[in-house]
């Protein structure tokens, strides 16, 4: 196969993308972050309405780029960012369903391990494992910033599913997980992002805000999901600046 010569899903100049990226799933959440947290933010790419913005945060250049839903989508944008735009670090921020009674809605979970029963990694480059490890350096920085902010954050395994958790028998999925793996939350993108980052020898990790739980009747509305993410957004931004 001929090597890809230019990006297909991101359309801007190389200098329009910062070396560090915050990646929410929803492109409108990327717009929200850019408008409310960045200075001099400008739209740099909008192919297929997947919005990307670049501006400054506390004086440092930073990009906010939507990823879409699911591993196939996030892998497209991660691959192009790493390959064509020399991005070095990506922090995914998203929402998740809680699968542990130890995490309450709307607490934050930081992944130090990501599990998936998907064939994504095997198809991507023949990797046969079911777990991938996020960047230890990024996680260390996030935990340092969280401590300074007196912000509670859970650290543990996140499970990445191919199907939206509330629409499937999540207990059956949890029942297939090997012994010794105890996920705190489930979502749909982290495994794909981190596996692509690891294949490029770049840094990536994932933080999610719990928006529903199999152990609670509390469910955040769409509007509440948007505003409840502000603490996590600020934590991610502060963790990417020098």
pLDDT in tens, 83-122: 999 999 999 999 999 999 999 999 999 999 999 999 999 9
Residue 206 falls within a domain, yes or no? yes
pTM: 0.95
**Cα–Cα distance between 202 and 138 in angstroms, integer?**
11
Task: Quote the domain boundaries for residue 61.
Answer: 14-240
Does residue 78 belong to any structural domain of this protein? yes
Give CA 85 to chain center in angstroms.
Answer: 18
Listed residue (69, 83, 12, 20) closest to 42, CA to CA: 12
Listing DSSP states for 79-114 in one string gives: HHHHHHH---EEEEEEEEEE-STT--TT-EEEEEEE
- Tally the domains of the chain: 1
Q: Give a yes or no: residue 64 inside a domain.
A: yes
Q: From the candidates 26, 112, 212, 231, which is the catalytic residue?
A: 212
pLDDT tens track for 5-63 = 899 999 999 999 999 999 999 999 999 999 999 999 999 999 999 999 999 999 999 99
Q: What CATH number is attached to the domain comprising 91?
A: 3.40.50.1580
User: Which positions ≥6 away from 70 have C-beta within 8 Å?
Assistant: 162, 188, 189, 192
Q: Is there a domain that residue 3 lies in?
A: no
Residue 9 domain-assigned (yes or no): no
Domain annotation covers residue 213: yes
Query: Cα separations (Å) of 139 from 29, 197, 205, 235?
Result: 22, 14, 7, 11
Does the annotation mark 231 as catalytic? Answer: no
pLDDT band at 1; cut points 50, 70, 90:
very low
């Amino acid at each position: 196969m001929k090597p890809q010569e230019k990006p297909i899903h991101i359309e801007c100049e190389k200098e329009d993308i910062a070396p560090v990226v915050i990646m929410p799933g929803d492109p409108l959440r990327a717009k929200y972050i850019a408008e409310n947290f960045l200075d001099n933010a400008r739209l740099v790419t909008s192919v297929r309405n997947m919005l990307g913005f670049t501006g400054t945060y506390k004086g440092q250049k930073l990009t906010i780029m939507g990823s879409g839903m699911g591993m196939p989508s996030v892998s497209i944008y991660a691959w192009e960012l790493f390959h064509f735009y020399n991005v070095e670090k990506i922090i995914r921020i998203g929402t998740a369903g809680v699968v542990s009674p130890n995490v309450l809605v709307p607490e934050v979970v930081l992944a130090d391990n990501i599990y998936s029963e998907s064939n994504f990694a095997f198809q991507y480059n023949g990797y046969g494992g079911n777990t991938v490890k996020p960047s230890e350096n990024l996680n260390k920085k996030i935990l340092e910033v969280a401590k300074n902010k007196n912000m509670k954050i859970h650290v543990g395994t996140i499970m990445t599913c191919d199907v939206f958790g509330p629409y499937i028998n999540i207990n059956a999925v949890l029942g297939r997980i090997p012994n010794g793996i105890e996920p705190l939350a489930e979502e749909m993108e982290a495994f794909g992002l981190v596996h692509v980052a690891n294949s490029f020898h770049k840094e990536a990790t994932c933080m999610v805000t719990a928006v529903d739980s199999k152990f609670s009747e509390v469910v955040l509305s769409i509007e509440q999901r948007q505003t409840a993410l502000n603490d996590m957004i600020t934590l991610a931004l502060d963790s990417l600046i020098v």
